[in-house]
Copies of this chain bind each other. A is one copy, B any other.
């Protein structure tokens, strides 16, 4: 497995599964590359909402825009350069703000395998 850089300009976004909001994911490095984590990018349209029970640990880094994430112990709002840890088992809601958001994520283990 080689050293690799990934950039959002290379991302091929797909709609996040099992929901119809304007929320898209693009896995860049993961299972197929032999990595123990999945690395990808996320894109949220303005004022979108995603509700999910975490099947994996997901670390989300905000690149642009803002997201409010609500879990069992309250809400956090993250902007560029900030990082949100969504632990496995947590019931979470992610809401984008007026300008949407782009993110990078790292999941352990691979989120698509866990579905």
Task: Tally A residues with Cβ within 8 Å of B.
Answer: 43
- Which of B64, B86, B90, B106 has a CB less than 8 Å from the CB of A59? B106
> A86 — which chain B residues lie within 8 A by C-beta?
3
Q: Using an 8 Å CB-CB cutoff, how does the interface string of A78-93 with B read, 1 for contact, 0 for none?
A: 1011111111101010
Cross-chain contact B90 with A3 (CB below 8 angstroms): yes
> A77 — which chain B residues lie within 8 A by C-beta?
5
Cross-chain contact B76 with A5 (CB below 8 angstroms): yes
A21 at the interface (CB under 8 A from B): no
Cross-chain contact B76 with A4 (CB below 8 angstroms): yes
A114 at the interface (CB under 8 A from B): no
The answer for the CA separation of A58 and B104 in the assembled complex, in Å, is: 14
> A5 — which chain B residues lie within 8 A by C-beta?
69, 76-78, 82-85
The answer for the CA separation of A100 and B73 in the assembled complex, in Å, is: 36
Which A residues from 46 to 80 make CB contacts under 8 A with B? 57, 59, 61, 63-64, 69-74, 76-78, 80
> A64 — which chain B residues lie within 8 A by C-beta?
81
